[in-house]
Every structure is written in structure tokens, then in C-alpha cells.
Structure 1
Amino acid sequence: MELTDAQIAEFHQQGYLFLPGQFTREEIEPLRREADSIFAIDREEVWRETSGVARTAFAAHTYSEPFRRLGAHPRMVKPVMQILDGQVYMHQYKINAKAAFDGDVWQWHQDYGVWQRDDGMPEPRAMNIAVFLDEVTAANGPLLFIPKSHQRGVFEAGHDLSTTSYPLWTLDRETVTRLADEGGIEAPTGPPGSMIMFHGNLVHASPPNISPWHRTIVYLSLCEVNNHIRRFKRPEWIAHRDFTAIEPLADDCLLSLPKPETVSSWA
């Protein structure tokens, strides 16, 4: 898959690009089942809300074959290589869950702000690319973006250690209000298999999910190989230290997975 000139221009202008229906239901279903299995596992990579439901599963590509394949899928990796103009490695991999009724907020933040402060990433030559495993609606905790906010660089942030179960470098209300008044707020919604690419400096958040419908999104945080992190403060399963360039798999790699009864997380 290659982005068009118009898509690349839209990404640079808005800070994100939404591509509905990039993966078929046949490709997404095994991932959806596998995510449920992973969320049920008691292991350090699976973070939970204060209520006990799963919030995030880190590094799933290291212990799950379906998610390993997704992490090297050409429809995810090649567009990022286009934008960053180089080979990329996996800086972070997470499956973010927003359980029905109990999915908690992700505060307003910039991902590169976190990567710079916690991981010593030199430049914002890294970005997120996400795939919906469930339908994402206005009701079940969609991503919220402030368009064009990536053009303003890295903002000052405070280290929020108490709002949720996961610590995060977050922006203050005055900054978010000013940016939103200037650029508005958008919330891409769509069916399972939809994909979003967004700049590391784009200001974003997501509200709690108080609906009766789950919302799960997979995120690959990909970094240009020469821009690899210099600080190793966080666990390796949060900020990876293998800077090997990803070799994209075949486009049909998700269609040759084992049958559902044999798909399971690795030990």
C-alpha cells in the first residue's frame, strides 16, 4: 500500500489521516478474539483500570502470533515508511481497551512529548498508526484529535500519576482550550478494520466509555531507525530496545492464521 500525494499532504496539514475499512472483517476477527484472550491473562504487560478491567496490553507482538503479523503488515508499516522517509522499528506496541461502562479516560497529551521525556527520543521522527478492532462510535470513547496542533512543537506537560492507572505526561486545560478554539476537535469513527495514522506531536485524548459497547484499538508506535531512543528508563516491554528495521510481511499474512480453536497467546 502506498499513500497518494493528496493523502500525504492531508497528513502533514491536519496531523492525521483516517483510512476507513483498510482491513476486512475476515482479517480483523482473529485479532478481536486474540485481544480478548490477552486481556484475560495475568501478566505484567497487561495494565488494568482501577475497576479491574483491562486498559492496555503492551508488546503483544512478542507473545501473540496474530499481533506479531499485524505489527509487520505492509498496510501499516509501508505508509509510515513513506511519511518518515526511511526504515522503521517498533518503539511501542499496545492494544488499548475501553471496556463497556468501565473504560477510563486518556488525558490530553502528545505521544512524542512522552517519548522525548521518558525515552530520550531525539526528534519527532516517529508516529502512531492504529487499527480499530471494534466499531468506534461517538458513544464508546473515540479518539479525539485537535487538528494542526502538531505544527506547534512540544508543549509543556505535567506528569499525571493519579488520574488513571497509567502515568502520562498531560497538557493543562488552558493549553488544550486555546488549541481547540483555534483548530476544533475531531473524532474519527468507523467500522472494524479502519486505520488512523497520526503525528507524534498531535494533541489527542479519549473520553471514558460509559456505553454498553466495547472499543478496542491496536497502536503501533513506529520510529525511524536512526532516531532510536537513547534513554532506557521504562521497561523494555513499554519502550522497546530492539532497533531492527521491520521487514513487512505479505499482504495476506492475516488470512493464513491458525484456525480459531488453535489461536492462543504464546507462553
Structure 2
Amino acid sequence: MRLSDDQVRQFQEEGWLFLPETFSAEEVAALREEAEAIYAANRPEIWREKSGAPRTAFAAHTYNEAFRLLGAHPRLIEPIEQLFGEQLYMHQFKINAKAAFTGDVWQWHQDYGTWLRDDGMPEPRAMNIAVFLDEVMPINGPLMLIPRSQAHGNLQAGHDLSTTSYPLWTLDDAVVTELVQEGGIVAPTGKPGGVLMFHGNLVHGSAPNITPYPRKIVYLTLNAVSNHIRKPTRPDWIAHQDFTPILPVPDDALTQYARRYRQAAE
């Protein structure tokens, strides 16, 4: 799958792009069931809110077949190879949950700030690809983006170790206010199967989910192979140190898996 010239232009100017209905209902249904099973497991890769609700499941592509296929899917790999002009490896893979009623805040931050400070990534030549597993609505804690904020480069940040169960390099309120006055805020919403891609320096965050509607999103962080991390400080299941280029699977690989999965359950 390749991006059109208009899509490339929007991404370069705004720092983000939403691609609705990239994955079918059949593909998403299998992924959603697998995600629930992963959240129920007792593994070190699964981080929980202070309430005990699941927050993030790291590295699922290393131990789950459905997410392995998603992590090498051409609908995700090919557009980023197009933008970067080279092969990619998986820097990070996580399934983020905003559990109904208890899903907590993600403070305003830039992802590249963490990749630089904690992992030693030389340049912001890594991309976040978000795959919606549930419907993302204006009311259930959607990701909020500040358009064009990526143009400001890597901003000064403080290491927040207390607000939530997950440590984050967060931005000062005054900085966020200035960026919002310039670029506004958008909150892309859509049906399961939609894909959101955004620049590593794009400022983003999300509010708590106090609704009955859960919101699960899979995030792939795809990094240019030449831009591999130099000084990792985090466990390998958070910041991967296998820089082998991803070889895309066939386009129907996840569909075939979903059908086998459904047949086995019948």
C-alpha cells in the first residue's frame, strides 16, 4: 500500500495522517480477542493502571501469532518505507488500553524525546502507527494531537514518574499552551480497523476514559534500520535491540489467520 502525493503532503505539513478502514472487521475481531487474552495474562510485559486495569502490553508480536502478522503487515510497513526510503525494524510494539471507566491519562509528550533520552535514537526517523481495535470516539479518551508541532523539533521535557503507572517525559503546560495556540488540537476518531500515523516529534496526549466504552489501540514504532538505537537503557521488550529489517507478510496473512481462528472456535 502506497500513500498518494496528497497524503504525503498532509503528513509532512501536519505531522499526522489517518487512514480509515485499513483493516477489515474480520481481521480486527481476531486481534481484539487476542488482545483481551493477553491482558488477562500475568507477564512482565503487561503494565497496569494503579487500579489494576490493563494499560499497556509490550512486545506482543514476539509471542502472539496474530500480532506477529500485524507487525509485519504490508499495509503498515510499505507506507513508512515509502516515507523513509529504506527498510524498517520494530523499535517498539505495544497494545494500549483505555479501560472503561478506569483508563488513565497520557500526559502531553513527544515520543522521540523518550527514544532519544532513554534509548539513544540518533534522529526522529521512527514512526508511530496506531491501529484501532475498538471504535475511538470523542468521549472515550481519544488520542489528541497538536498539528504541526513536530516542526519545533525535540522540546525540553521533565521525567514524570508519579502521575501514572508509566514513566513519561512530559511537556510543561506553558509550552503546550503555546503550541496549541499555534496549531490547535485534533482528536482523530474512527471505526475499528482505522490506522493513524504520526511523526515522532508530534506532541500528543489523551484524557482519562470515564465512559463504559473501552478503547484499545495497537502501536507499532517502526524505525529506519540506519537509525537504530545506540544506548538502550530499557528492557529489550520495551525498546527492541534486534535491528533485522522487517520482511512484510502477504497482504492476506492476517485474514487467513482470522479465518483459522474462527474455525477453531466453532
TM-score band by shorter chain is over 0.9
Cα deviation for residue 260 of structure 1 reads 3.9
Residue by residue over 1:108-145, the C-alpha shift from the partner in whole angstroms, topping out at 9 and shown as x without a partner, is 00000110000000001111011000000001010000
Alignment correspondent of 2:11 = 11
Alignment correspondent of 2:156 = 156
Alignment correspondent of 1:70 = 70
Alignment correspondent of 2:43 = 43
Alignment correspondent of 1:177 = 177
Alignment correspondent of 2:261 = 259
- Answering whether residue 215 of structure 2 is matched by residue 200 of structure 1, we say no
Count residues with an aligned counterpart: 263
Distance 2:111 2:85 in 1: 20
Distance 2:138 2:81 in 1: 31
Distance 2:263 2:162 in 1: 40
Alignment correspondent of 2:219 = 219
Whichever residue aligns with residue 94 of structure 2, its letter is K
Distance 2:169 2:17 in 1: 24
Distance 1:86 1:201 in 2: 20
User: Residues 254, 18 of structure 1: CA spacing in aligned structure 2 closer, same or farther, 3 A cutoff?
Assistant: same
Cα deviation for residue 256 of structure 1 reads 1.3
Cα deviation for residue 262 of structure 1 reads 5.0
Cα deviation for residue 84 of structure 1 reads 1.1
Whichever residue aligns with residue 104 of structure 2, its letter is D
Residue by residue over 1:174-197, the C-alpha shift from the partner in whole angstroms, topping out at 9 and shown as x without a partner, is 000000011000000000000011
Alignment correspondent of 2:105 = 105
Distance 1:177 1:70 in 2: 36
Cα deviation for residue 261 of structure 1 reads 7.3
Whichever residue aligns with residue 85 of structure 2, its letter is D
Alignment correspondent of 2:23 = 23
Residue 163 of structure 2 aligns to a residue in which SS?
coil
Cα deviation for residue 259 of structure 1 reads 2.0
Whichever residue aligns with residue 116 of structure 1, its letter is L
Whichever residue aligns with residue 213 of structure 1, its letter is Y
Structure 2 unpaired stretches of 5+: none
Superposed CA RMSD in Å reads 0.9
Residue 209 of structure 1 aligns to a residue in which SS?
coil
Distance 1:127 1:72 in 2: 14
**TM-score normalized by the length of structure 1:** 0.97
Alignment correspondent of 1:242 = 242
Residue by residue over 1:196-223, the C-alpha shift from the partner in whole angstroms, topping out at 9 and shown as x without a partner, is 1100000000110001000000000010
Cα deviation for residue 85 of structure 1 reads 1.2
**TM-score normalized by the length of structure 2:** 0.97
Whichever residue aligns with residue 41 of structure 1, its letter is A
Residue 259 of structure 1 aligns to a residue in which SS?
helix
- Answering whether residue 93 of structure 2 is matched by residue 93 of structure 1, we say yes
- Answering whether residue 146 of structure 2 is matched by residue 146 of structure 1, we say yes
Distance 2:232 2:120 in 1: 8
Cα deviation for residue 255 of structure 1 reads 1.1
Q: Select between 154-163 and 248-257 the one with higher mean Cα deviation.
A: 248-257
Residue 201 of structure 2 aligns to a residue in which SS?
coil
